[in-house]
Amino acid sequence: MYKSFVKGNPGVGFTWIINLLIQIFSSILPVITPSLKKELEDFLLGLYARAKETPNPWDDFLMKFLLRMLNITVPGE
């Protein structure tokens, strides 16, 4: 009834999910076998290259996000 008068909590959102994913992947990636880690990096870099070829900017955003989350250098940066 009085919800219109109550301010939303600005600290609640999707930020916690992103932080959780970063913590999970950043703790898992260092313990992966080096050959599998290299294959994963090559795969994601290949997807990033393909995303740059599409007209959809969200493809680029998603691939940059994944590369940065996994601490893989984004080409051209």
pLDDT of residue 62: 92
Compare 28 and 10 and report the one with higher pLDDT. 28
What ranges do the domains of the chain cover?
A: 33-77
What's the rounded Cα separation, in Å, for the pair 47 and 50?
A: 5
Reported as a single tens digit per residue, the pLDDT across 13-62 is 667 777 788 788 778 878 889 899 899 999 999 999 999 999 999 999 99
Compare 6 and 55 and report the one with higher pLDDT. 55
Residues in CB range of 40: below 8 A, 6 or more apart:
32, 70
Extract long-range pairs of 25-29: CB within 8 Å, 24+ residues apart.
25/69, 25/70, 26/69, 26/70, 26/71, 29/70, 29/71
Residue 20 corresponds to which amino acid? L
